Structure 1
Amino acid sequence: METSVAEFFHDFRQETLAGAEASSSFQLAAFMEAVATELVETGFVEGFEFCHYRALRGMRVDGYWFNDEGALDLFVADFDSRSELSTLTRTDVDAAFKRLASFFEASAAKGLSTDLEVTSPEYGLSRQIADRKGSIRQLNLILVSERAISDRIQSLPDGEIQGIPTRYNIWDISRLHRQRSSRSHKEPLDLDFTEMFGAGIPCLPAHLGSGTYQSYLMVMPAEVISGLYAKFGARLLEQNVRTFLQARGKVNKGIRTTILTEPGMFFAYNNGITATAQSVEVADTGSGLEITRILDLQIVNGGQTTASLFHTRRKDKADLANIFVQMKLSVIDSDQSEIIVPRISEYANTQNRVNAADFFSNHPFHVRMEEFSRRLWAPAQQGAQRETKWFYERARGQYADAQSKLTPGEQKRFKAENPKPQMFTKTDLAKFENTWDEHPRWVNLGAQKNFAKYAYRIGKEWDKSPDTFNEFYFRRAVARGIVFRALEKLVSSQPWYNGGYRANIVAYTIAVLSEIAKRHKQRLDFQRIWNDQGINRTLEQVLSIIAKAVNDDITKPAQGISNISEWCKKDACWTRIQTQIARIEPDLPVEFWDELVSADEAATEAKSAKKTQKIDNGIDAQRRVLEIPASHWANIQHALSAKRLLSPKEVGILRIAAQIPSKIPTEKQCAVLLETIEKAREEGISVP
């Protein structure tokens, strides 16, 4: 049941109010964080730092992000906590962008930072703009509005500010509604090659008949690829490829060398690009077919090639005129994209397999976390009668999709069982875990980069010991999230808090708390936090003391660093804060030490949970094996034996399976049988 823009406005407003209440932040901050989360998760921006500054001189800014491609995103809000949906006019739009441009110009050329408080977020941003002005290649001004844009505003042409190419983007409530309502849960790129480059791209159809999906082979000019990446950046890259690049850096040295020294051989040396699209438009020019338009182009392999072409042209002034790249383009309907696109990406990336790149939303880790979140009931909070669940959104939009076909009564029940404040995403989980595991610097790099670090770390741990990720791990992760979110609220209410750097303070405060316990060979009692579904007064007091110390430390960055947020991204920041721990400990209440559990006790609990998971895995394996008829096992044995792909042990176990139910395979035998299923699938053998 699709909502109207007006309904979406009211729902989004309630989310913002609830978010502000839950975190004790101002409504503007909650609004900006909510919108920024949408834009980051869909790749429209790489990250977001809240920074509200408004001056009588007609300047305003509400957030920013410096990205790795040399671009600066500046945000300005149109927000007044309106109770009814209203129209955003052209006059409003022009005025908002003028105020944002004035802030940039005053920072870049008029020494604005000298008039600002040195520890304020606006000082750090203004000073960084002045220091980085020569290296900013692209300025993106982004207006975020709680109103609906007037139909008379079609598009805003690119411009230039202080000699820097400037793009204007408007995210009004209608555009946010379209993004959340789209089947792919992101705004698809609509690329008109004729309009953008003056001509279509020659192609060869690679599909036969009407029953197959469309696919094409194309030879893409490198200048076109570089131009698309310059304009759209990471939005061109499928999420898992984006994660891979975040984890591994942007420029491949071999690709760069070929561009600079042997451009004519690039086509021969490079593996090319694999991409998908929702739909394409093709024209017959008389000399062959051309693709003139692509809706939602996503590069699923070849992200390094794409980024390297862009960076080598920008940094090395390389001439791309004689470089061409082969592209395999598959047209996949958005209904099938969640299943098929990750598979294309996985299979296309087998030559340079990397854990982070393979860490898809359907990776067994995420599937297991999702299963726990749908099955495990959290204890009722104090004063409440009803148990609830913590909804893990392993794929974007699952929380909304789960309600889309429910009746109003069923929706009410769903939200009671799965409250929105208890929904958490992959990037939330990565944030909770990396802070507690003492990687605060990673968390401050932004949601996507932090997730890339987490994915790489957990991917390796999963390969080594998947049973580590069990019910205990899930409950502990939720408990960590409870503390994390409680601390956000706590920081906002502190008398010393000036409205800036909350995310930095929270990340380092939790890392310090974790380090203090570890130094005493103890751990926080996460089971008690799970049971209470909240934190007690003692822990609140401890967090407040540590947060104050962290704030005092990070607001005095090392010499030569003017931006506190940038300082918080450096290892040196964490190293220096750790030296302050001995001074913090004496201020902590004595009750705190009594509430910790020994590291040995925590390890014993984790070991026990690991054993339980192993048993659960065995039971699950038996269930899956017994669901497959004996005749199918006989067919698998026959087909794999004919290809001489079975060991004597596997043959014996398959013979037992072929006699189900008169003979029942053991748990260990079932694990082997599930491996033979995968072997059969790889050989193209039909498996139920």
Structure 2
Amino acid sequence: MNPLEDYHQNLMADIRRQADASGILMVEAFFDRMTERLTESGELEAADRAYYQIGKGKEKLRIDGYAGDPRESGGVLGLIVCDFVDSDEVQTFAKSDIPPVLNPLIRFLKQARTKEFRDALNEENPGFQVSDLIITTWSQVTKVKLILVSNRQYIGRDDTVKLAEMADVPITWSVWDLARFERFDKSGQAREDMVIDFATDFGAPVPALKASQVGAALESYLLIVPGEQLAAIYDRWGARLLEANVRTFLQARAKTNKGIQKTIMEEPELFFPYNNGLSATAEGVTCVRADDGLAIASINNLQIVNGAQTTGSIHAGLKSAKDQLAQVFVQMKLTVVPADRSEGIVPKISEYANTQNKVNAADFFSNHPFHIRVQQLSRRVIFTAREGERHDRKWFYERTCGQFLNARGSLKGADQKSFDLEFPTSQIFTKTDLAKFENSAAGQPHIVSRGAQKNFSEYAKEIGDSWSKSAAKYDELWYRRLIAKAIIFRKLEEEVPKQNWYSGGYRANVVTYAMAKIFHDANDEKNVLDIDSVWKIQNVSAALQRALLLAAETAHDIITHPPTGIRNMSEWAKQQACWSGLKGREVRYATDFDKCKISVEAMQTAVRDARAKQAMTKGIDAQTEVLSLGANFWKKVLEWGQAGRKLTPREVVVLNTCISMPKRIPTESQAALALVILGRMGDDTPHFSA
């Protein structure tokens, strides 16, 4: 079995499991899973399911989802259609097979722009919802992106294809097929390399000044990029130009800077002196010699790590100030970072280049200590098997794209089977999943409803502040409680579609709102929701499930009945007012809901006990390690430390105690200090045996 076949087999198994557990159609489970990849990759900023289909043959209209409000994504209207085949074998399709799938979406777009089409539908119909959004925002739409999502393998060559314009608005279509999803899930690389050929495709090579010496660790260049070239490049490649973490950060903080746009329109010749310019990275460049010096002819996999607002503003000038762009120039600092060094280098460039935004590493990077801590805990903490199951299991935190598939793929035979038992696919969670669990419980369902990336960015801000104040609180008990929230969230995802009151649609919104409501209603001055009981049994009790579904029914009612003047329910769910409405709505829970609560004092006692236990375990582990190294080892450490005058008087006393073993045994605190001494010596520690 080749890697793509193996990926397809596991994907189909997961989709069938999710569909069976939740009572939803397989294509809906497929949509939910794959649109998460679209937002993570930057193809779209959000993805809301809105299934509508009518007619047959050449009269057929179909849409499966859309990418949120275009006004929130730089004027880009994203529409999604699914091509899903229930097959155990990998199926293929070619460019000639595209029209039967894509044309119904194009026909839907044409019809949805008319009030006659919209007004003929019920307001709760997803087709009405999308049509109303398109009509309301069309004057501000700058581009339409049609995305075809398929579990078949596309054997055509086109990545993104431009179609005829509609009312002067450019339209493109692109395919996300099985192979592309497999590449992204394994490495985060969803497309072929992005080669920006200035000489052939964008007018001419860009003059450059080399800013690094021969033999330097990294090549660097300074460029002056014409505004017309930058706008054309962004128009073609879009969000692929923006380093993923910076893109996420910007989504939550600011719209395109109006001041930058004003300069372009009114004083384009002053754009260069007024603007700070761009910081960018690339995996490679091709340089040529021009009449007036060095120039860059092409850039491989350009990523703008600082200057996204500048880039977006210049691109907007294609529509609002096309004539002025000829006078706009922007400076770019470009660093060439080989692909095998990008994970370590690019995050630092992004972080330091964006310091004026007062951000921290948690806003951007998967290698922030918080994420590393969660990953370590996920590989270590074992949860008792659920009732009726034989094996204890762990939850796998996928800190970076491809960790799970790569970890599993490195194993064979019995080892792979053991891995599957230890880390079932139903217990994988990502950074964006973590943010959904946490923000739902924290009473921010309107933020969660804005999409995985925007929600993660908001959560990252909180983590950045909290981590800097107290990293110690993110311990094993915190992690277990995080998993309890994951269990509650996923139980709601499974159960909501099975309810009689659920009419389809808005499941993601209902889930996060219901979870937020339960935590809100359970928590007061004396009591909180007993989430410790959830992780202990790895399940939701019958009493808690009943309460969750009552909250979900109320949430569904609030979401599907917005105030007068608001007609798009998905967009309504993204507003603070929607959450305020649910918070204020009384839910009559059964009397056994009280059994789902625990006193604040008991919850705090659990924290104190857990930290005491953790401290004791660390002390015992330290004693064990010191004893295992032996007295002779510590004698040589003392001799070496004294020779270099690296020890305090207290440290000398502690090491003398270690030397007297086994006659005298160092205490837990003394053992811990001995290991601190050893760690402080680091690479200077001499290599001697115990």
Alignment match, 2:380: 375
Alignment match, 1:549: 554
Residues 362-381 of structure 1: per-residue CA shift (max 9 Å, x gap): 11111111111011001111
Query: What is the distance in 1 between the residues matched to 2:242 and 2:650?
Result: 42
Pick the aligned partner of 2:505 from 472, 491, 500: 500
Aligned runs of 1:205-224 on 2, under 5 Å?
A: 205-209=210-214, 212-224=217-229
Question: Unaligned stretches of 5+ in structure 1?
Answer: 639-649
Alignment match, 2:63: 61
- Confirm whether residue 338 of structure 1 aligns to residue 343 of structure 2: yes
Alignment match, 1:455: 460
Structure 1 residue 127: Cα displacement: 1.5
Query: What is the distance in 2 between the residues matched to 1:615 and 1:222?
Result: 62
Query: What is the distance in 1 between the residues matched to 2:672 and 2:562?
Result: 56
Check whether the contact 1:356–1:456 (CA below 8 A) recurs between aligned residues.
Answer: no
Check whether the contact 2:227–2:314 (CA below 8 A) recurs between aligned residues.
Answer: yes
Amino acid aligned to 1:139? V
Pick the aligned partner of 1:424 from 424, 429, 437: 429
Alignment match, 1:589: 590
- Confirm whether residue 524 of structure 1 aligns to residue 525 of structure 2: no
Check whether the contact 2:85–2:152 (CA below 8 A) recurs between aligned residues.
Answer: no
Aligned runs of 1:197-212 on 2, under 5 Å?
A: 197-209=202-214, 212=217
Other structure's SS at 1:373 match: helix
Query: What is the distance in 1 between the residues matched to 2:159 and 2:357?
Result: 43
Structure 1 residue 237: Cα displacement: 1.9
Residues 585-633 of structure 1: per-residue CA shift (max 9 Å, x gap): 2xx22112123111232233234445666778999999999999979x9
Aligned runs of 1:143-542 on 2, under 5 Å?
A: 143-151=148-156, 156-182=161-187, 184=189, 188-209=193-214, 212-252=217-257, 255-256=260-261, 258-259=263-264, 262-311=267-316, 319-355=324-360, 358-519=363-524, 521-542=526-547
Query: What is the distance in 2 between the residues matched to 1:609 and 1:247?
Result: 35
Residues 51-90 of structure 1: per-residue CA shift (max 9 Å, x gap): 1111013100011113421111101111131332223133
Pick the aligned partner of 1:92 from 93, 97, 100: 97
Structure 1 residue 543: Cα displacement: 1.7
Alignment match, 1:643: none
Q: Closer, same or farther in 2 for the Cα pair 1:618/1:561, shift >3 Å?
A: farther
Check whether the contact 1:524–1:596 (CA below 8 A) recurs between aligned residues.
Answer: yes
Query: What is the distance in 2 between the residues matched to 1:339 and 1:246?
Result: 24
| Equivalent residues, number | 666
Query: What is the distance in 1 between the residues matched to 2:390 and 2:120?
Result: 54
Query: What is the distance in 2 between the residues matched to 1:500 and 1:624?
Result: 57
Amino acid aligned to 1:41? E
Alignment match, 1:51: 50
Deviates more, 1:119-128 or 1:372-381: 119-128
Alignment match, 1:13: 12
Structure 1 residue 446: Cα displacement: 0.3
Alignment match, 1:568: 573
The percent of aligned pairs where both chains have the same amino acid is 38
- Confirm whether residue 39 of structure 1 aligns to residue 38 of structure 2: yes
- Confirm whether residue 604 of structure 1 aligns to residue 609 of structure 2: no
Q: Closer, same or farther in 2 for the Cα pair 1:652/1:230, shift >3 Å?
A: farther
Other structure's SS at 2:174 match: strand
Structure 1 residue 139: Cα displacement: 0.6
Query: What is the distance in 2 between the residues matched to 1:447 and 1:612?
Result: 36
Check whether the contact 1:259–1:318 (CA below 8 A) recurs between aligned residues.
Answer: no
Query: What is the distance in 2 between the residues matched to 1:623 and 1:209?
Result: 51
Query: What is the distance in 1 between the residues matched to 2:330 and 2:677?
Result: 43
Amino acid aligned to 1:601? A
Deviates more, 1:253-262 or 1:160-169: 253-262
Amino acid aligned to 2:359? V
Structure 1 residue 444: Cα displacement: 0.5
Q: Closer, same or farther in 2 for the Cα pair 1:247/1:152, shift >3 Å?
A: closer
Residues 632-657 of structure 1: per-residue CA shift (max 9 Å, x gap): x989x99xxxxxxxxxxx99699979
Amino acid aligned to 2:598? V
Amino acid aligned to 1:446? G
Query: What is the distance in 1 between the residues matched to 2:568 and 2:183?
Result: 35
Query: What is the distance in 1 between the residues matched to 2:473 and 2:303?
Result: 34
Query: What is the distance in 2 between the residues matched to 1:303 and 1:155?
Result: 22
Structure 1 residue 505: Cα displacement: 0.6
Alignment match, 2:663: none
Query: What is the distance in 1 between the residues matched to 2:289 and 2:427?
Result: 53
Structure 1 residue 161: Cα displacement: 2.5
- Give 1 or 2 for the bigger CA radius of gyration: 2
Check whether the contact 1:179–1:187 (CA below 8 A) recurs between aligned residues.
Answer: no
Residues 68-120 of structure 1: per-residue CA shift (max 9 Å, x gap): 21111101111131332223133431122211011111110252222222223
Structure 1 residue 187: Cα displacement: 5.9
Structure 1 residue 277: Cα displacement: 1.8
Structure 1 residue 186: Cα displacement: 6.7
Deviates more, 1:242-251 or 1:375-384: 242-251
Residues 199-255 of structure 1: per-residue CA shift (max 9 Å, x gap): 222223334445744332222223333333344333322232123212321334664
Alignment match, 2:107: 102
Check whether the contact 1:244–1:357 (CA below 8 A) recurs between aligned residues.
Answer: no
Structure 1 residue 481: Cα displacement: 0.6
Amino acid aligned to 2:66? Y
Q: Closer, same or farther in 2 for the Cα pair 1:162/1:675, shift >3 Å?
A: farther
Pick the aligned partner of 1:80 from 80, 85, 97: 85
Query: What is the distance in 1 between the residues matched to 2:387 and 2:397?
Result: 23
Q: Closer, same or farther in 2 for the Cα pair 1:279/1:592, shift >3 Å?
A: same
Other structure's SS at 1:560 match: coil
Q: Closer, same or farther in 2 for the Cα pair 1:316/1:594, shift >3 Å?
A: farther
Aligned runs of 1:614-625 on 2, under 5 Å?
A: none
Structure 1 residue 567: Cα displacement: 0.5
Query: What is the distance in 1 between the residues matched to 2:21 and 2:162?
Result: 39
Query: What is the distance in 2 between the residues matched to 1:310 and 1:369?
Result: 39
Other structure's SS at 2:383 match: coil
Query: What is the distance in 2 between the residues matched to 1:340 and 1:186?
Result: 22
Query: What is the distance in 2 between the residues matched to 1:391 and 1:310?
Result: 40
Structure 1 residue 431: Cα displacement: 0.2
Residues 533-562 of structure 1: per-residue CA shift (max 9 Å, x gap): 111222222122221121122111111111
Deviates more, 1:226-235 or 1:106-115: 226-235
Check whether the contact 2:162–2:171 (CA below 8 A) recurs between aligned residues.
Answer: no
Check whether the contact 2:252–2:454 (CA below 8 A) recurs between aligned residues.
Answer: yes
Other structure's SS at 1:251 match: coil
Q: Closer, same or farther in 2 for the Cα pair 1:107/1:154, shift >3 Å?
A: closer
Q: TM-score, normalising length from structure 2?
A: 0.86
Structure 1 residue 383: Cα displacement: 1.2
Check whether the contact 1:550–1:577 (CA below 8 A) recurs between aligned residues.
Answer: yes
Residues 552-578 of structure 1: per-residue CA shift (max 9 Å, x gap): 221111111110000001111111112
Amino acid aligned to 1:59? L
Q: TM-score, normalising length from structure 1?
A: 0.87
Amino acid aligned to 2:5? A
- Confirm whether residue 577 of structure 1 aligns to residue 582 of structure 2: yes
Q: Closer, same or farther in 2 for the Cα pair 1:459/1:471, shift >3 Å?
A: same
Q: Closer, same or farther in 2 for the Cα pair 1:576/1:89, shift >3 Å?
A: same
Structure 1 residue 408: Cα displacement: 3.4
Q: Closer, same or farther in 2 for the Cα pair 1:100/1:205, shift >3 Å?
A: same
